[in-house]
Amino acid sequence: MNVVEANGLGKRYGKKWALRDCSVAIPAGRIAALVGPNGAGKSTLLNLAVGMVAPSAGGVTVLGGRPAGSPFALDGIAFVAQDTPLYKNLSAEDMLHLTRNLNRRFDQASAEARLAELDIPLKRKAGSLSGGQQAQLALSLALARRPQLLVLDEPVAMLDPLARHDFMATVLAAAAEDGVSVLLSSHVLAELERVADYLVLLSRGRVQVAGLVDDLLASHRVLSGPAAEADGYLERGTVVHARRGLTQAHLLVRTNGGADAIPRGWEAHPVGLEELALGYLREPDAAALPGPGYGVDREPSGVATWAR
Protein backbone atom coordinates (compact mmCIF):
# COMPACT_ATOMS: atom_id res chain seq x y z
CA MET A 1 0.00 0.00 0.00
CA ASN A 2 1.15 3.53 -0.74
CA VAL A 3 0.40 6.10 1.95
CA VAL A 4 0.79 8.92 -0.59
CA GLU A 5 0.50 8.58 -4.35
CA ALA A 6 0.55 11.57 -6.70
CA ASN A 7 0.12 11.56 -10.47
CA GLY A 8 0.80 14.70 -12.48
CA LEU A 9 0.03 16.68 -9.34
CA GLY A 10 0.32 20.45 -9.54
CA LYS A 11 -0.66 23.53 -7.57
CA ARG A 12 -0.70 27.03 -8.98
CA TYR A 13 -1.11 30.28 -7.08
CA GLY A 14 -2.01 32.92 -9.63
CA LYS A 15 0.43 32.52 -12.49
CA LYS A 16 3.09 30.78 -10.41
CA TRP A 17 3.30 27.01 -10.06
CA ALA A 18 4.35 26.01 -6.54
CA LEU A 19 4.32 22.34 -7.56
CA ARG A 20 4.12 20.94 -11.08
CA ASP A 21 3.88 17.53 -12.73
CA CYS A 22 4.61 15.74 -9.45
CA SER A 23 4.38 11.96 -9.67
CA VAL A 24 5.55 9.94 -6.68
CA ALA A 25 4.48 6.90 -4.65
CA ILE A 26 5.51 6.64 -0.99
CA PRO A 27 5.06 3.12 0.44
CA ALA A 28 3.55 2.42 3.83
CA GLY A 29 5.74 1.54 6.80
CA ARG A 30 8.48 4.04 5.95
CA ILE A 31 9.89 7.21 7.44
CA ALA A 32 10.04 9.27 4.27
CA ALA A 33 12.17 12.42 4.18
CA LEU A 34 10.96 15.24 1.93
CA VAL A 35 13.97 17.39 1.08
CA GLY A 36 14.41 20.49 -1.04
CA PRO A 37 15.39 24.17 -0.95
CA ASN A 38 12.99 26.92 0.07
CA GLY A 39 10.31 27.32 -2.57
CA ALA A 40 10.75 23.80 -3.92
CA GLY A 41 7.15 22.84 -3.18
CA LYS A 42 7.58 20.75 -0.03
CA SER A 43 4.86 22.41 2.06
CA THR A 44 2.59 22.54 -0.97
CA LEU A 45 2.91 18.79 -1.49
CA LEU A 46 2.20 18.14 2.19
CA ASN A 47 -0.82 20.45 2.18
CA LEU A 48 -2.19 18.69 -0.90
CA ALA A 49 -1.64 15.27 0.69
CA VAL A 50 -3.54 16.17 3.85
CA GLY A 51 -6.34 17.87 1.89
CA MET A 52 -5.74 21.41 3.11
CA VAL A 53 -5.64 22.74 -0.47
CA ALA A 54 -7.07 21.46 -3.75
CA PRO A 55 -4.80 20.64 -6.71
CA SER A 56 -4.71 22.75 -9.86
CA ALA A 57 -3.69 19.74 -11.93
CA GLY A 58 -3.43 15.98 -11.51
CA GLY A 59 -4.44 14.20 -8.35
CA VAL A 60 -3.24 12.73 -5.07
CA THR A 61 -4.52 9.82 -3.01
CA VAL A 62 -3.53 8.62 0.44
CA LEU A 63 -3.76 5.48 2.56
CA GLY A 64 -4.10 3.05 -0.32
CA GLY A 65 -6.07 5.10 -2.83
CA ARG A 66 -8.37 7.30 -0.74
CA PRO A 67 -8.86 10.84 -2.10
CA ALA A 68 -6.86 13.39 -0.12
CA GLY A 69 -9.17 15.38 2.14
CA SER A 70 -11.91 12.73 2.20
CA PRO A 71 -13.40 11.81 5.60
CA PHE A 72 -11.57 8.47 5.67
CA ALA A 73 -8.29 10.15 4.78
CA LEU A 74 -8.71 12.86 7.41
CA ASP A 75 -9.45 10.24 10.03
CA GLY A 76 -6.22 8.38 9.27
CA ILE A 77 -3.75 11.26 8.95
CA ALA A 78 -2.24 13.48 11.66
CA PHE A 79 -0.46 16.68 10.65
CA VAL A 80 2.01 18.77 12.65
CA ALA A 81 3.04 22.05 11.02
CA GLN A 82 6.23 24.00 11.60
CA ASP A 83 4.60 26.56 13.90
CA THR A 84 3.24 23.79 16.22
CA PRO A 85 -0.37 25.01 16.11
CA LEU A 86 -1.49 25.22 19.72
CA TYR A 87 -3.81 27.53 21.59
CA LYS A 88 -1.21 29.35 23.67
CA ASN A 89 -3.65 30.36 26.41
CA LEU A 90 -4.87 26.81 26.98
CA SER A 91 -3.10 24.39 29.28
CA ALA A 92 -1.73 21.09 28.02
CA GLU A 93 -4.63 19.42 29.79
CA ASP A 94 -7.12 21.69 28.01
CA MET A 95 -5.47 20.90 24.67
CA LEU A 96 -5.93 17.19 25.33
CA HIS A 97 -9.59 17.74 26.18
CA LEU A 98 -10.19 19.89 23.08
CA THR A 99 -8.46 17.49 20.72
CA ARG A 100 -10.34 14.53 22.19
CA ASN A 101 -13.67 16.25 21.57
CA LEU A 102 -12.77 17.14 17.98
CA ASN A 103 -11.72 13.64 16.93
CA ARG A 104 -13.59 10.38 16.62
CA ARG A 105 -10.60 8.43 17.93
CA PHE A 106 -8.26 9.76 20.63
CA ASP A 107 -6.09 7.82 23.07
CA GLN A 108 -5.91 10.23 25.98
CA ALA A 109 -4.18 7.76 28.29
CA SER A 110 -1.24 7.35 25.92
CA ALA A 111 -0.99 11.11 25.41
CA GLU A 112 -0.94 11.76 29.17
CA ALA A 113 1.64 9.01 29.66
CA ARG A 114 3.86 10.49 26.94
CA LEU A 115 3.63 13.99 28.42
CA ALA A 116 4.41 12.65 31.89
CA GLU A 117 7.46 10.84 30.52
CA LEU A 118 8.60 14.12 28.97
CA ASP A 119 7.98 16.06 32.22
CA ILE A 120 5.47 18.38 30.54
CA PRO A 121 3.05 19.67 33.22
CA LEU A 122 -0.60 19.24 32.28
CA LYS A 123 -1.59 22.45 34.09
CA ARG A 124 0.99 24.64 32.32
CA LYS A 125 -0.29 26.90 29.53
CA ALA A 126 1.00 25.90 26.12
CA GLY A 127 2.39 29.39 25.50
CA SER A 128 4.61 29.16 28.59
CA LEU A 129 6.23 25.89 27.52
CA SER A 130 9.62 25.82 25.85
CA GLY A 131 9.84 25.40 22.08
CA GLY A 132 10.79 21.77 22.49
CA GLN A 133 7.93 21.12 24.91
CA GLN A 134 5.43 22.78 22.56
CA ALA A 135 6.64 20.61 19.69
CA GLN A 136 6.33 17.50 21.87
CA LEU A 137 2.83 18.51 22.96
CA ALA A 138 1.73 18.97 19.35
CA LEU A 139 3.29 15.62 18.43
CA SER A 140 1.63 13.87 21.39
CA LEU A 141 -1.77 15.24 20.35
CA ALA A 142 -1.19 14.01 16.80
CA LEU A 143 -0.08 10.53 17.84
CA ALA A 144 -2.99 10.15 20.26
CA ARG A 145 -5.29 10.19 17.24
CA ARG A 146 -3.72 6.82 16.31
CA PRO A 147 -3.02 7.83 12.71
CA GLN A 148 -1.84 5.57 9.93
CA LEU A 149 0.19 8.42 8.48
CA LEU A 150 1.97 11.17 10.43
CA VAL A 151 2.84 14.24 8.33
CA LEU A 152 5.43 16.63 9.76
CA ASP A 153 6.26 19.94 8.07
CA GLU A 154 9.60 21.29 9.32
CA PRO A 155 8.78 20.29 12.92
CA VAL A 156 12.31 20.77 14.27
CA ALA A 157 13.29 23.93 12.40
CA MET A 158 13.12 26.15 15.49
CA LEU A 159 14.39 23.64 18.05
CA ASP A 160 17.82 23.38 19.66
CA PRO A 161 19.87 20.19 19.03
CA LEU A 162 18.74 18.41 22.21
CA ALA A 163 15.06 19.19 21.58
CA ARG A 164 15.46 18.03 17.95
CA HIS A 165 16.97 14.76 19.09
CA ASP A 166 14.20 14.14 21.64
CA PHE A 167 11.48 14.99 19.10
CA MET A 168 12.87 12.62 16.48
CA ALA A 169 13.29 9.89 19.11
CA THR A 170 9.54 10.13 19.77
CA VAL A 171 8.82 9.88 16.03
CA LEU A 172 11.08 6.82 15.72
CA ALA A 173 9.40 5.15 18.68
CA ALA A 174 5.94 5.74 17.20
CA ALA A 175 7.00 4.30 13.86
CA ALA A 176 8.53 1.23 15.49
CA GLU A 177 5.93 0.54 18.17
CA ASP A 178 2.70 1.65 16.49
CA GLY A 179 3.55 1.05 12.83
CA VAL A 180 2.89 4.68 11.90
CA SER A 181 4.11 5.74 8.46
CA VAL A 182 5.86 9.13 8.53
CA LEU A 183 6.30 11.81 5.87
CA LEU A 184 8.75 14.39 7.20
CA SER A 185 9.87 17.64 5.62
CA SER A 186 13.05 19.13 7.03
CA HIS A 187 16.16 21.14 6.20
CA VAL A 188 18.14 19.40 8.96
CA LEU A 189 19.78 16.73 6.79
CA ALA A 190 21.87 15.32 9.64
CA GLU A 191 18.69 14.43 11.55
CA LEU A 192 17.09 12.91 8.46
CA GLU A 193 20.11 10.70 7.86
CA ARG A 194 19.61 9.23 11.31
CA VAL A 195 15.91 8.41 10.93
CA ALA A 196 14.77 8.30 7.29
CA ASP A 197 14.67 5.16 5.16
CA TYR A 198 12.95 6.73 2.13
CA LEU A 199 13.89 9.93 0.29
CA VAL A 200 11.85 12.29 -1.87
CA LEU A 201 13.87 15.22 -3.20
CA LEU A 202 12.06 18.21 -4.66
CA SER A 203 13.60 20.98 -6.74
CA ARG A 204 11.92 23.70 -8.77
CA GLY A 205 8.51 22.30 -7.93
CA ARG A 206 9.24 18.82 -9.30
CA VAL A 207 10.30 15.48 -7.86
CA GLN A 208 13.96 14.98 -8.71
CA VAL A 209 14.80 11.80 -6.78
CA ALA A 210 12.62 9.28 -4.94
CA GLY A 211 13.43 5.86 -3.52
CA LEU A 212 14.64 3.76 -0.63
CA VAL A 213 17.63 5.41 1.04
CA ASP A 214 19.68 2.19 1.08
CA ASP A 215 19.11 1.67 -2.66
CA LEU A 216 19.99 5.27 -3.49
CA LEU A 217 23.17 5.19 -1.42
CA ALA A 218 24.21 1.85 -2.93
CA SER A 219 23.80 3.22 -6.45
CA HIS A 220 26.00 6.29 -5.88
CA ARG A 221 29.56 6.89 -4.78
CA VAL A 222 32.18 9.62 -4.67
CA LEU A 223 35.26 9.24 -6.83
CA SER A 224 38.41 11.19 -6.00
CA GLY A 225 41.29 11.41 -8.44
CA PRO A 226 43.45 13.53 -10.75
CA ALA A 227 41.60 16.60 -12.00
CA ALA A 228 43.13 16.22 -15.45
CA GLU A 229 41.40 12.86 -15.89
CA ALA A 230 37.94 13.95 -14.73
CA ASP A 231 36.64 14.67 -18.22
CA GLY A 232 36.51 10.95 -18.98
CA TYR A 233 33.92 10.46 -16.26
CA LEU A 234 31.92 13.49 -17.32
CA GLU A 235 31.60 12.05 -20.82
CA ARG A 236 29.93 8.92 -19.46
CA GLY A 237 26.92 10.97 -18.32
CA THR A 238 26.78 9.47 -14.83
CA VAL A 239 28.13 12.44 -12.87
CA VAL A 240 25.60 14.10 -10.60
CA HIS A 241 27.90 16.80 -9.22
CA ALA A 242 31.59 17.53 -9.57
CA ARG A 243 34.22 19.66 -7.89
CA ARG A 244 37.69 20.15 -9.33
CA GLY A 245 40.69 21.99 -7.99
CA LEU A 246 44.06 22.35 -9.62
CA THR A 247 45.09 18.76 -8.93
CA GLN A 248 42.16 16.82 -7.44
CA ALA A 249 38.59 16.18 -8.59
CA HIS A 250 35.71 14.82 -6.52
CA LEU A 251 32.79 13.39 -8.46
CA LEU A 252 29.42 12.23 -7.14
CA VAL A 253 28.47 9.55 -9.66
CA ARG A 254 25.62 7.14 -10.30
CA THR A 255 26.80 3.55 -10.52
CA ASN A 256 23.37 2.28 -11.64
CA GLY A 257 24.05 -0.89 -9.70
CA GLY A 258 27.20 -1.66 -11.65
CA ALA A 259 30.61 -2.54 -10.29
CA ASP A 260 32.85 -0.53 -12.62
CA ALA A 261 36.56 -0.94 -12.07
CA ILE A 262 38.21 2.04 -10.41
CA PRO A 263 41.01 3.43 -12.61
CA ARG A 264 44.51 3.62 -11.23
CA GLY A 265 45.04 6.79 -9.23
CA TRP A 266 41.35 7.10 -8.26
CA GLU A 267 39.60 6.20 -5.02
CA ALA A 268 35.92 5.37 -4.42
CA HIS A 269 34.09 6.40 -1.24
CA PRO A 270 30.58 5.55 0.02
CA VAL A 271 27.98 8.31 0.00
CA GLY A 272 25.91 9.56 2.95
CA LEU A 273 22.36 10.83 2.68
CA GLU A 274 23.37 14.44 3.26
CA GLU A 275 26.08 14.30 0.57
CA LEU A 276 23.69 12.63 -1.88
CA ALA A 277 20.91 15.17 -1.29
CA LEU A 278 23.23 18.15 -1.55
CA GLY A 279 24.70 16.82 -4.79
CA TYR A 280 21.30 16.65 -6.45
CA LEU A 281 20.21 19.99 -5.01
CA ARG A 282 23.27 21.64 -6.52
CA GLU A 283 22.47 20.10 -9.89
CA PRO A 284 18.66 20.35 -10.24
CA ASP A 285 18.71 18.77 -13.72
CA ALA A 286 20.83 15.78 -12.70
CA ALA A 287 17.89 13.38 -12.44
CA ALA A 288 17.44 13.69 -16.21
CA LEU A 289 20.52 11.44 -16.59
CA PRO A 290 22.64 14.04 -18.37
CA GLY A 291 25.00 13.06 -21.12
CA PRO A 292 28.22 14.71 -22.27
CA GLY A 293 28.40 18.42 -22.88
CA TYR A 294 29.25 19.93 -19.51
CA GLY A 295 31.08 23.20 -19.30
CA VAL A 296 33.26 24.34 -16.44
CA ASP A 297 32.30 27.25 -14.19
CA ARG A 298 35.15 28.35 -11.97
CA GLU A 299 34.13 29.58 -8.57
CA PRO A 300 35.95 32.35 -6.65
CA SER A 301 37.46 29.73 -4.35
CA GLY A 302 39.39 28.21 -7.25
CA VAL A 303 37.22 25.07 -7.24
CA ALA A 304 35.39 24.30 -10.47
CA THR A 305 31.93 22.82 -10.80
CA TRP A 306 30.36 21.37 -13.90
CA ALA A 307 26.98 22.63 -15.07
CA ARG A 308 24.83 22.34 -18.17
pLDDT at site 236: 64
pLDDT at site 258: 56
pTM of the model: 0.84
226 and 204 in a common domain: no
264 and 174 in a common domain: no
pLDDT band at 268 (very low <50, low <70, confident <90, very high): confident
Whole-angstrom distance, CA of residue 243 vs CA of residue 80: 38
Is the model's pLDDT at 2 over the cut of 50? yes
Q: What is the mean pLDDT of residues 250-261?
A: 74
270 and 232 in a common domain: yes
pLDDT per position as a tens digit, 38-66: 888 999 999 999 999 999 999 999 999 99
Output the domain CATH number for residue 79: 3.40.50.300
104 and 229 in a common domain: no
204 and 125 in a common domain: yes
Determine the residue type at 64. G
pLDDT at site 235: 62
pLDDT at site 243: 85
185 and 58 in a common domain: yes
Domain boundary among 184, 213, 242: 213
252 and 299 in a common domain: yes
268 and 145 in a common domain: no
Tell me the pLDDT of the chain averaged across its residues: 85
Q: Which segments within the chain are labelled E, that is strand? A: 2-13, 16-27, 31-35, 57-62, 66-67, 77-80, 149-153, 181-185, 198-203, 206-212, 220-226, 239-244, 248-254, 267-269, 295-298, 304-307
pLDDT at site 228: 81
298 and 201 in a common domain: no
pLDDT at site 305: 33
pLDDT band at 304 (very low <50, low <70, confident <90, very high): very low
Tell me the CA distances in angstroms from 195 to 32, 183, 198, 263, one per residue in order: 9, 11, 9, 35
Domain boundary among 188, 213, 238: 213
Q: What is the mean pLDDT of residues 282-297?
A: 48
Which residue has better confidence, 204 or 273?
273
pLDDT per position as a tens digit, 164-199: 888 899 899 989 988 999 999 988 787 788 899 999
89 and 68 in a common domain: yes
132-136, 198-202, 303-307: range with lowest mean pLDDT: 303-307
257 and 135 in a common domain: no
Q: Which domain holds residue 224?
A: 219-307
pLDDT per position as a tens digit, 147-160: 999 999 988 877 88
Domain boundary among 191, 213, 235: 213
The number of distinct structural domains making up the chain is 2
206 and 69 in a common domain: yes
pLDDT at site 75: 92
pLDDT at site 237: 58
Percent of the chain with pLDDT over 70: 88
